[in-house]
Structure 1
Amino acid sequence: MDNVLNDDGVLYIKSAEAFAEGRWQEAAEIYPWPLYSILIAVVQKATGAGFDIAAYILNTAFYALLAWAYVACIEALGGSRRDLLIALAFFLALPSVNDYRGFVIRDIGFWPFYMLALLAIFKFQRNPGWGAAAGWGASMIVATLFRLEGLVFLVGMPLVAFFDRPSPWCQRIVRFLQLNLGLAVAAAITLVWLRIEGMQAFLGRLNEPLMWIELLRSQISAGLGEKAASLGQIVLPKYSTGFALPAVFTILLLILLTHTVKSVGALGIAGLAFGARPSAYPHRQTQAFWLAVVLNFGILLAFVVVQFFLTGRYVMTLGLTLALMVPFGLSRAYDRWKQWRGNRPARNWPFVAAVALFLFMVVDSLFSFGVSKAYLKEAGQWLRTQTPADARIYSESTIVGYYAAKRGDEWKRTQPPVEEVVASDAALQNYDYVVILLGRDGKEPENLSGIVPLREFRNERNDRVRIFKAADILNAHTAKAAGRQSDLAR
């Protein structure tokens, strides 16, 4: 972890700063899903730390809560002491969880409350009552305030009440209504909000579910067909064009499957292989677990159909849910291995392999093998200390702009594209410095060709930040224009 804020983290920090200063409307405009930013502001007020440090303190609390909730879920499913120890060790070593410990993202708030909601519903399955139902609803409402997909679980998970076959239907209906207490509270809060704000509230985040439904409908009705047609025309021979649409669906499932496997790791997959059997669970009522898996899979499938990509953090909720199987599976695998081994030391290799996988997970979690982003922070800090206090900076990077911290708006994403800025004398006159980003194989805009940057920062992959004086670019434009005039005069 190189202690550099991520792009979204800049927005949360800036929104938190606005909340702390009482600029609520501006804070909501910076990021219109405010709970995470509000909590950062609260922690900052309570500790007096910087806003970025306050965010990391908050994330540490969320990670601790997530670890506790995960182990508590294993216990609620009937886990033994050994299962709980395996669960704790597996969770603490899970790279997909630790990969985000340096990020400032609202997902880190969503995960523990989602897991607390599962814990409540597992308890409800064993001992139905209003207390567990209220715990489910409250936890899922808070989770939804971090990420809107919590609404899918708030609506879908109460259906688990109908899966309890031994219970009469009247009892199932009562339990279904109990689990919908949270949804009723959420609906009441929404109605009050609309009463205060009016229907224009639907122009913001409340309209997102309808927007996603429309995007999904559009992709299913036309978008997937267009992608299949392109695949058939460009990649497949004419005799194989009938396989284009199945190939598109295969690609979508492969994207989802790959990220899911990464989320639980190799040792997790081994645990799932043994844990996916009902006999692995001391407590057989696992309908809520499987329903959560189905809902997670449906959310991700809808997202990948619309966007055609996934990132690891989007799959974390599914990965954490599947990880509930792993301790039971590993415990069962250990018992099976002891029986198979007997008194033959030559059969120690499965245990040695499992320990090696675990140690690899620990190393992967403790040490970051990703590409460093420290060069972005270094570039921003150089701008802050080595340029005039009133310098006007155009930054293509949100992160560089945040650490430059001059006028305070360099981090905003609403600035024009860099190609437009460096091509226009009128645009360049609004800035003193121009900051551009280049990937390892990236090329500068044509208008910057031949201009020596004032400073350059790079990482080990040769990703670069180049800082130019706007005056140097303007002078180059003037020289090129004069050269063209001279050529015409000849």
Structure 2
Amino acid sequence: MKKFENLFDAYEPKYGLLFCLALAAFIKILLLCLFQKPINADGTLYISIAKHFADGRFSDGMALYPMPFYPALIALVHFIIPNWDLAARLLSIFFMTFAIVPLYFLTRDLFNRHAAFWSAFAFAVSPVFNEWSVDVIRGTGFVFCVLWAVWLGQKALKLEKPAFFVWTGAISVISFLFRVEGIFLIVFFPLFCIVRMLQKPKTAVSMAKGLMLWLAFIAVLGGAGLTAAHLNQMPVNRLDSVTSKADAALQLEFMDKYMERYKALEKLEGTPPFYHGRQNLLETTRHFMYLVYLTGFGKIFIKVIFPCFFVALFFSSWRPMQVQHAFILGLIGFYLLLVYLNLINRDFMQHRFVFAPACLVYPWVGQGLNNLFNRVKNSFRPNFWLFCFLAVFLVVPASKAFHSVVKRDDSVIIEAGRFAKQNELLRDARVLTNDSQLPYYGGLTVDQFETIPNKYEDDYAGMGKIAIKKQIDIIYIKVSDEKDIMPQFSGYRLIKKFPSDDRIIYIFGSAQFCKDKGLLQ
């Protein structure tokens, strides 16, 4: 233990950040190299848009999805790295690796250099962040910008220098270009500044100057963006969605949805196997729906942080609380509250919705790990407890990261796509699929095929009717291997079947298509 402690004290001050960056890059690149996994479904959309941008077809790309910033970055990286999948994934790896830099600076300013090291270390080995770093998602760039914006924002609050206000505004806007949740930071920062000015009148003048610069910068940048979008008649960054959601929130629409479900549960109470007895399961659930939602919400939040690192929060230091701590904790609370209300409104939530607030908790994770490490150094059996410490906070999360990627290693999708591409099956064909990954690896962009609506996921007769109605040439579907019966489509022949451990991919062709391609025996 003494040797480890001496090495740590000697090298951590100079090389702690570099070590964490190297560790993060090593894990992510190893995950990328070892496991052949298809691009996630959202990634096929972003790469399809990027391909349109690279070919100069901007209106076609914008028609697919009105958030062009991330696909444009993929297109730029593609000029250097000609493989689309690799270019997009390396962009994600870059964001998730170098997000460690603002996180390190943020934790150092909030606590100390040692806490900053452990915060960066935990972020580098965190399973969810490593898993998402090899996906093609907007969340990686979003978190990268949010961490920089929050670090600059807390510097602005502490030093009250105009430059920090301007940079906070600039990077907040860039975060909004990745995900619309960036609006949370844009709204919260000026509100917090106003509260700060009311609490501390002595700083009101300097704070007001900085805030006015921030507002002017946001107004100019936002106005320029809206003008450009209006002139080109393009919806940009789902601004209509943001305004409609804000309007719905002000009208308490989530409460209407809550009461809908409340009344639906009330009606079910009299149906078997439930009875009218007091405090039955449905009655209890109905009265405490907000806690049920909160439980599921908390479960997702803890999963994203990772349970081992969530436990470290109980060993963190929460006092004394300075303005920077209050700003970040207030932002986390504001963000989580809005996401929770959105959960109640939509009755649905994905892990990526809490990606940013989970990252902002990591300074306190780092301080908790630092406190634990100090206890280990001063314990009765330091070598044993150091082994346990490294096992829990290094081996377990790193192993989980590798397990998560292995579990999702679905190379049969790539194999099927390679077959379709080599045989030019999808070229000039009308394709119907239940998974955008399949035709993507066959060489198509997402606007070159039809996707089956979710309600027909297991309704093969319904799929067949859609195929006949739309005069589909190829039905290209993914089916769980738990379904032992092979799908049958009237007027379509099986071209190829690709089985794997947990799913089967089928390629069916219409009789006329098979005849034209010479596929009939």
Q: TM-score range by the shorter chain?
A: 0.7 to 0.9
Q: Which amino acid aligns with 1:471?
A: A
2:122 maps to 90
Number of corresponding residues: 465
Deviation at 1:407, TM superposition (A): 8.9
Structure 1 range deviating more: 120-129 or 146-155: 120-129
Structure 1 residues 354 and 186: alpha-carbon distance in aligned structure 2, compared to 1, 3 A threshold? same
Residues 1:277 and 2:318 aligned together: yes
Say if 2:505 is the partner of 1:470.
no
Give the letter for the 1:322 counterpart: V
Alignment partner for residue 205 of structure 1, among 238, 260, 265? Answer: 238
Closer/same/farther in 2, CA of residues 221 and 63 from structure 1, 3 Å limit: closer
Contact 2:54 2:75 in 1 (8 A): yes
Q: Structure 1 residue aligned with 2:181, among 136, 149, 152?
A: 149
Unaligned runs of 5+ in 1: 476-490
Alpha-carbon displacement from aligned partner over 1:232-288 (angstroms, at most 9, x marks no partner): 333664323664443321121012100111112222112211225215x8x774111
**1:24-39 mapped onto 2 (5 Å cutoff):** 24-39=58-73
Secondary structure of the residue aligned to 1:325 is: helix
Match of 1:370 in 2: 407
Aligned residue for 1:323? 362
Moved more, 436-445 or 397-406: 436-445
1:329–1:206: structure 2 CA closer, same or farther, 3 Å change rule? same
Residue from 78, 96, 99 that aligns with 2:131 = 99
Contact persistence 2:229–2:235 (CA under 8 A) = no
Moved more, 177-186 or 416-425: 416-425
Corresponding position of 1:22: 56
Is 1:403 the counterpart of 2:441? The answer is yes
Displacement of 1:126 in angstroms is 2.4
Aligned to 1:423: 465
Q: 1:168 aligns with which of 200, 207, 213?
A: 200
| 8 A Cα contact 1:5 1:104, kept in partner | yes
TM-score by length of 1: 0.84
CA contact (8 A) 1:380 1:402 kept: yes
CA distance, structure 1, for counterparts of residue 208 and residue 340 of structure 2:
26
| Cα distance, 1:221 vs structure 2 | 3.4
**Inter-CA distance 29–415: structure 2 relative to 1 (3 Å threshold):** farther
1:57 and 2:96 matched: no
Written as runs of structure 1 = structure 2, the 5 A alignment for 1:34-45 is 34-45=68-79
Deviation at 1:21? 1.2
Q: Give the Cα separation in 2 of the matches to 1:69 and 1:425.
A: 51
Extract unaligned runs of 5+ from structure 2.
1-34, 516-521
Written as runs of structure 1 = structure 2, the 5 A alignment for 1:228-377 is 228-234=262-268, 237-238=275-276, 239-240=278-279, 243-275=284-316, 277-279=318-320, 285-339=324-378, 341=379, 344-345=380-381, 351-358=386-393, 359-367=395-403, 368-377=405-414
Q: Distance in 2 between matches of 1:414 and 1:424?
A: 8
Which of 1 and 2 has higher RCO (CA within 8 Å, sep 6+)?
Answer: 2
Q: Secondary structure at the match of 2:408?
A: coil
Can you list the C-alpha shifts for 1:62-113, whole angstroms capped at 9, x where unaligned? 1232111111111222412x22322222111111111112211111110111
Q: Distance in 2 between matches of 1:208 and 1:313?
A: 18
Whole-Å Cα distance in 1 between the matches of residues 71 and 123 of structure 2? 27
Residue 479 of structure 1 corresponds to none
The alpha-carbon distance between structure 1 residues 125 and 237, as it changes in their structure 2 partners (threshold 3 A), is: farther
- Structure 1 Cα separation of the partners of residues 216 and 111 of structure 2: 31
> Could you tell me how far 1:313 is from its partner in structure 2?
1.9
Partners of 2:483 and 2:348 in 1: CA distance: 22
Deviation per CA, 1:444-472, whole angstroms, max 9, x where unpaired? 79753998733222432x22221222229
Secondary structure, counterpart of 2:99 in structure 1? helix
1:385 to 2:427 alignment: no
C-alpha distance in 2, partners of 1:298/1:33?
25
Partners in 2 of 1:141 and 1:204 — Cα distance?
Answer: 11
Amino acid at match of 1:405: G
TM-score, normalised to structure 2's length?
0.79
Secondary structure of the structure 2 residue equivalent to 1:309? coil
- Return the letter of the residue paired with 2:313: L
CA–CA distance in structure 2, aligned partners of residues 48 and 99 of structure 1: 22
Return the alpha-carbon distance in structure 1 between the equivalents of residues 295 and 481 of structure 2: 28
Q: Distance in 2 between matches of 1:336 and 1:425?
A: 65
CA distance in 1, matches of 2:318, 2:119: 18
- Identity percentage over the alignment? 19
CA separation of 1:142 and 1:10: change in aligned 2, threshold 3 A? same
Amino acid at match of 1:126: K
One-letter code aligned to 2:123: F
**Contact 2:48-2:61 within 8 A present in 1 as well:** yes
Residues 396 and 435, structure 1, Cα contact 8 Å, conserved in 2: yes
Q: Which residue of 2 aligns with 1:487?
A: none
Q: Which moved more, 1:362-371 or 1:444-453?
A: 444-453
